[in-house]
Structure formats: structure tokens, C-alpha cells
């Protein structure tokens, strides 16, 4: 018998947003904009003692074939604003938001995160992303002129600069001593100067050090540079894999990189996104899961998805008929704009060939092919089955936990909170109560190194 102690599972919830996994046509689907939906979702996550709630971001409405995409949920709130409002209706739940480093400036973003951390008493986290296209840039002063390699170097310098700003105040800078009249103990608090390739800025940061010192830093991405970036400085990474083999490989690779950066194994949490379909029995859950997949991939959605690969207008094709005989349009993908998924298809000709073979072998229509090749639900089954599967993956070092994405807004987490979480608690692998008050506490992360003394000028 193994004497290895049981790992504690980390769980988080992603508010379902603008993608075709959200089944808006379900009679139980509510608003994805009304604040009541966010309150319900966040309070359910907190009732279940989750580590945090996660909000994604996109800075331009998606377009396909030159028109705004209209089949999935469209529209979402501003990340910072809704997370800060949620701080008022929750007490412990971490608040994680995606904020783009291409179309923002470090001074402004650093003060927004420091503010969120103050106003939530230490629950802020930042998922740092770069933008992928000039299409999004058309909404901003900067435009879309950053070449791909510069986006990543800007992201790295952006994060480093934000850290300099967070660290420009130490936790003792404010005396607020009315008697002696000393408000600022350190008269030079907030002093910073950063000169780099992307940013040449200096002055005084104007938000005092926040409860967590710095927000928790998340990194997404599976590329070599993404893994290195996360290993070097992130607190958590969105894993890509919810399966045992691929998950273990990713986990071992990323955790193996930490030592080279002087970091211990537990300084970086690996949290893949995961979907789930819960039923009273495994059979019932499988049936529901099949139905959910049909709802997620309508005939029109399947055609739109195929266009990502073919890079052509396929609206004349029958989704219940065979795949197009014509080949994908070569070159840069111009049909789908504002879509991250397009990047998955780096070799459209090969993808089309593979799909034709698969469809031929199994006699699949376009819609059936898309259902078969896009992500299945990660966890399907009864509460006991799902609790077991999650625990097995975590104990086997395929992940440190999961970020759950329900397919229904805002009630999609309710059943999980009521039935799966208690089973994990019974097994002693998930907290019954919050032990600390900050997100760093929940994730078992150490406080960031104390801010260094202000740099001499």
C-alpha cells in the first residue's frame, strides 16, 4: 500500500460564456448578463468551498464570413467591474480574471488588480493573456500592429512591470498616525522606474500594497514558451488535459521545469478546465451528455466549425450530409475572426484529410463528425463516479485540480456543489471549510517575496 499522503484537490468554477459549450437554448438557462446570475453562480461556488471563480475575456465580438457570429452566447461584462462587484456578495471565494496585456497599460492594470485585491481582502488573481489578432486591435488606440513574437515579449515585460508597481509600496508604508500627523511613513512609497523594450515609464504608483501583495498569477498556454513562462513565475497554469496519460505528461513536464527557476514543486498549481454532466446514474448521465453534445453542436454550429478548417464559406453544405469534397483554402485564415480555436488547425489540409478518413470509416455526417472530434465532456456519471474520477486524476498527478465549466448559466454548478463536493469532503481530499481568507491561502501558495527597498534613483 502506498504511504503517499492524499493530495488536496483544488476546484474552481468558470462562469460559462461566449462559446458553443453554453447551452443557452435549455429552458433552465438564465441570463449571462444580469448580475443576479453572477451572484447565484459565485455564491454556489463559495457554498461548495471552491478556490475561485474564473472569468474569461474577449475584446471584440467574434465574426465569421464578415458578419457577427450569432449562434452562441454573445456579449459579456467587463471583467474587473463584475469581479469587484462580486467581492461584495462573497467572502472567501477567489476572483480570477483574464486581462489582456496587448491592449492595456501596466500602470492602469496594476492599479485595477491592486484595487480588486484591497476591495476583496486578498482574493484577486490575474490570468495574463496576449491578443492574437489585429482584428481585436481595431477597438484600441494601439491598433493591431504587434507581431506575434512581440506580443509574448510585451506580455512578459508587462507582467514584470506590474510586479515592480505592486512592489513599489511595502506593507508598512502607511502610518496613518493622526496624532503625529504622519500619514506616509515612507515618503517615497510607490516610487518606480522601468526602462525596457516595451515600456519606458517612471513615477509614483498610487495604490498601497494590497493584502496579497500581488494578485495570484495564472498563465494559459501549452506552447514551449508558455510552459517556460509559467514555470518561471506563474502561481497556476491552466492545464490543457483532463485525461490521465496526457495530463500526467504535461504535469511532469511543467513541474519538472520549476527547479531550474529555483522554485519548489508546490509553487505552481496545474488546473485544467473540465466540463461535466451529472446524473442520478452513470447511464442517465451518459444519455444526458449525448443530448448536451447535440445541443452544443447544432447543424449550423457544425458548419461554422468546419469553416474554421476549410477557411471557406460552407453555408451551402448540408450538416447532415458528407464532408466537402473540396480542399481547405490555403494560407492565412480569414473567415473566422476573434476565435482562439482557429489556431488549433495549423495544417488544415492534414486535418481535412484526417476528418474525411474518420467520417468515411464511421459513416459520419458533418454534424456527427464535429460532435465526434470536438471535446467530449471531461466527467460524465453519477456523483460517485465523478468524485472518483476527479480524485483519481489528482492523486495520479495528472492535475492539482480542475476548473469546472458547466453548460448552463447560472445554475449549472448547483448539482455539483450539492452532490459531488460532499463525497470529496468525505474522502478527505477537499476542504470542508475555508482554512484561510486569501486566494493564496486556498491554493496553498506562499506570500510573494517582500517588496524590496525602493530603488535608488
Partner 1 sequence: MSDSSTPPAPLHLAVSLDGAGRHPAAWREPGARPAELFTARYWAGLATEAETGLLDFITFEDGLALQSSLPEAFDERPDRVRGRLDAVLTAARVAPLTRHIGLVPAVTATHTEPFHISKAVATLDHVSRGRAGLRVQVSGLPHEARHFGRRTVPLADTELYAEAADHVEVIRRLWDSWEDDAEIRDVATGRFVDRDKLHHIDFEGRHFSVRGPSITPRPPQGQPVVSASGAGEASYALVARSTDVGYVAAHDGDRTRAAVAAIRRAREATGLTADPLHLFGELTVFLDEDAPAAGARLERLDALAGLPHGADAGVFTGSPGQLADLLLERREAGLSGFLLHPGVIAHDLPAITRSLVPELQRRGVFRREYEADTLRGLLGLHRPGSRYARRAA
Residues within window 80-119 making contact with partner 1, judged by CB under 8 A: 80-82, 84-85, 87-89, 103-105, 107-108, 111-112, 114-116, 118-119
Q: Which is nearer to partner 1, 30 or 448 (CB)?
A: 30
Write the CB contacts of 286 (distance below 8 Å, at least 6 apart in sequence): 279, 380, 381
Does 76 contact partner 1 by CB under 8 A?
A: yes
Q: Specify the 3-state DSSP secondary structure of 211.
A: coil
Question: Hey, is 341 helix, strand or coil?
Answer: helix
399 with 393: CB under 8 angstroms? yes
Told to check if 70 binds partner 1 by CB under 8 A, we report: yes
DSSP letter string, 180-197: TTEEESSTTTTEEEEE-S
Residue 35 engages partner 1 in binding (rule: CB under 8 A): yes
- Shortest Cβ 19–partner 1 spacing (Å): 12
Q: Which is nearer to partner 1, 231 or 371 (CB)?
A: 371
Stretch that binds partner 1, among 293-301, 321-329, 383-391, 441-449 (CB under 8 A): 293-301
- To the nearest whole angstrom, how small is the minimum distance from the Cβ of residue 101 to partner 1? 13
Q: Does 134 bind partner 1 (CB under 8 A)?
A: no
Among positions 24, 126, 355, 430, the unique one binding partner 1 when judged by CB under 8 A: 24
215 versus 348: smaller Cβ distance to partner 1: 215
Binding residue for partner 1, selected from 98, 132, 174, 437, defined by CB under 8 A: 174
Which residues 153-172 are close enough to bind partner 1 by CB under 8 A? 169
- Tell me the sheet residues that pair with 129: 100
Q: Does 138 bind partner 1 (CB under 8 A)?
A: yes
Q: Which is nearer to partner 1, 95 or 352 (CB)?
A: 95
Cα angle, residue 287 at apex, residues 284 and 289 outer, rounded to 5°: 110
In SS3 terms, 367-425 reads as HHHHHHHCCCCCEEECHHHHHHHHHHHHHCCCCCEEEECCCCCCHHHHHHHHHHHHHHH
CA nearest neighbour of 29 among 73, 81, 94? 73
Using the contact rule CB under 8 A, the part of the chain among 67-75, 221-229, 238-246, 362-370 near partner 1 is 67-75
Number of residues that bind partner 1 (CB under 8 A): 75
Q: Whole-angstrom Cα distance, residue 280 to residue 418? A: 13
Select the residue interacting with partner 1 from 2, 3, 66, 67 (CB under 8 A).
Answer: 67
Segment contacting partner 1 by CB under 8 A, of 137-145, 147-155, 237-245, 329-337: 137-145
Least separation, in Å, of the C-beta of 368 and partner 1?
17
With H, G, I as helix, E, B as strand and everything else as coil, classify residue 204. strand
3-class DSSP string for 29-95: CCCCCCHHHHHHHHHHHHHCCCCEEEECCCCCCCEECCEECCCCCCCCCCHHHHHHHHCCCCCCCEE
- 24 touches 298 (CB < 8 A): no
Pick the piece of the chain touching partner 1 (CB under 8 A) from 8-16, 48-56, 79-87, 217-225: 79-87
Given 4, 148, 149, 200, the residue binding partner 1 (CB under 8 A): 200
Amino acid at each position: 500500500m502506498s504511504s503517499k499522503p492524499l493530495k488536496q484537490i483544488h476546484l474552481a468554477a468558470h462562469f460559462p460564456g461566449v462559446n458553443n459549450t453554453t447551452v443557452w437554448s435549455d429552458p433552465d438557462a438564465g441570463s449571462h448578463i444580469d448580475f443576479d446570475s453572477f451572484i447565484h453562480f459565485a455564491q454556489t461556488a463559495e457554498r461548495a468551498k471552491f478556490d475561485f471563480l474564473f472569468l474569461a475575456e474577449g475584446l471584440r465580438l467574434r465574426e465569421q464570413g464578415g458578419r457577427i457570429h450569432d449562434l452562441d452566447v454573445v456579449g459579456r461584462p467587463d471583467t474587473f467591474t463584475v469581479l469587484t462587484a462580486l467581492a461584495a456578495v462573497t467572502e472567501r471565494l477567489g476572483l480570477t480574471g483574464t486581462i489582456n496585456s496587448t491592449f492595456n497599460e501596466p500602470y492602469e492594470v496594476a492599479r485595477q488588480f491592486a484595487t480588486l485585491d484591497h476591495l476583496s481582502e486578498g482574493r484577486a488573481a490575474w490570468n495574463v493573456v496576449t491578443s492574437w489578432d489585429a482584428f481585436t486591435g481595431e477597438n484600441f488606440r494601439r491598433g493591431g500592429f504587434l507581431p506575434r513574437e512581440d506580443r509574448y515579449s510585451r506580455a512578459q515585460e508587462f507582467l514584470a512591470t506590474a510586479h515592480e508597481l505592486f512592489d513599489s509600496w511595502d506593507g508598512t508604508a502607511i502610518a496613518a498616525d493622526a496624532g503625529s500627523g504622519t500619514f506616509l511613513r515612507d515618503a517615497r512609497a510607490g516610487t518606480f522606474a522601468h526602462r525596457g523594450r516595451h515600456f519606458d515609464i517612471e513615477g509614483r504608483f498610487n495604490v498601497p500594497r494590497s493584502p496579497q501583495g500581488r494578485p495570484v498569477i495564472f498563465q494559459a498556454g501549452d506552447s514551449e514558451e508558455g510552459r517556460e513562462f509559467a514555470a518561471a513565475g506563474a502561481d497556476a497554469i491552466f492545464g490543457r488535459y483532463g485525461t490521465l496519460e496526457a495530463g500526467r505528461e504535461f504535469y511532469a513536464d511543467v513541474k519538472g521545469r520549476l527547479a531550474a527557476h529555483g522554485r519548489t514543486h508546490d509553487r505552481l498549481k496545474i488546473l485544467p478546465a473540465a466540463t461535466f454532466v451529472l446524473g442520478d446514474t452513470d447511464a442517465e448521465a451518459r444519455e444526458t451528455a449525448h443530448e448536451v453534445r447535440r445541443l452544443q453542436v447544432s447543424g449550423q454550429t457544425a458548419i461554422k466549425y468546419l469553416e474554421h478548417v476549410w477557411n471557406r464559406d460552407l453555408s451551402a453544405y448540408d450538416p447532415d450530409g458528407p464532408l466537402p469534397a473540396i480542399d481547405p483554402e490555403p494560407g492565412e485564415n480569414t473567415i473566422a475572426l476573434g476565435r482562439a480555436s482557429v489556431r488549433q488547425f495549423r495544417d488544415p489540409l492534414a486535418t481535412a484529410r484526417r476528418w474525411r478518413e474518420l467520417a468515411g470509416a464511421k459513416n459520419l455526417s458533418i454534424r456527427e463528425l464535429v460532435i465526434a472530434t470536438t471535446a467530449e465532456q471531461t466527467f460524465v456519471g453519477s456523483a460517485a463516479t465523478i468524485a472518483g474520477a476527479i480524485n483519481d486524476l489528482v492523486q495520479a498527478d495528472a492535475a492539482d485540480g480542475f476548473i469546472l465549466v458547466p453548460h448552463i448559466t447560472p445554475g449549472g454548478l448547483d448539482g455539483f456543489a450539492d452532490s459531488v463536493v460532499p463525497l470529496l469532503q468525505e474522502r478527505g481530499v477537499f476542504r470542508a471549510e475555508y482554512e484561510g481568507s486569501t486566494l493564496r491561502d486556498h491554493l496553498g501558495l506562499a506570500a510573494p517575496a517582500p517588496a524590496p527597498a525602493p530603488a535608488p534613483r
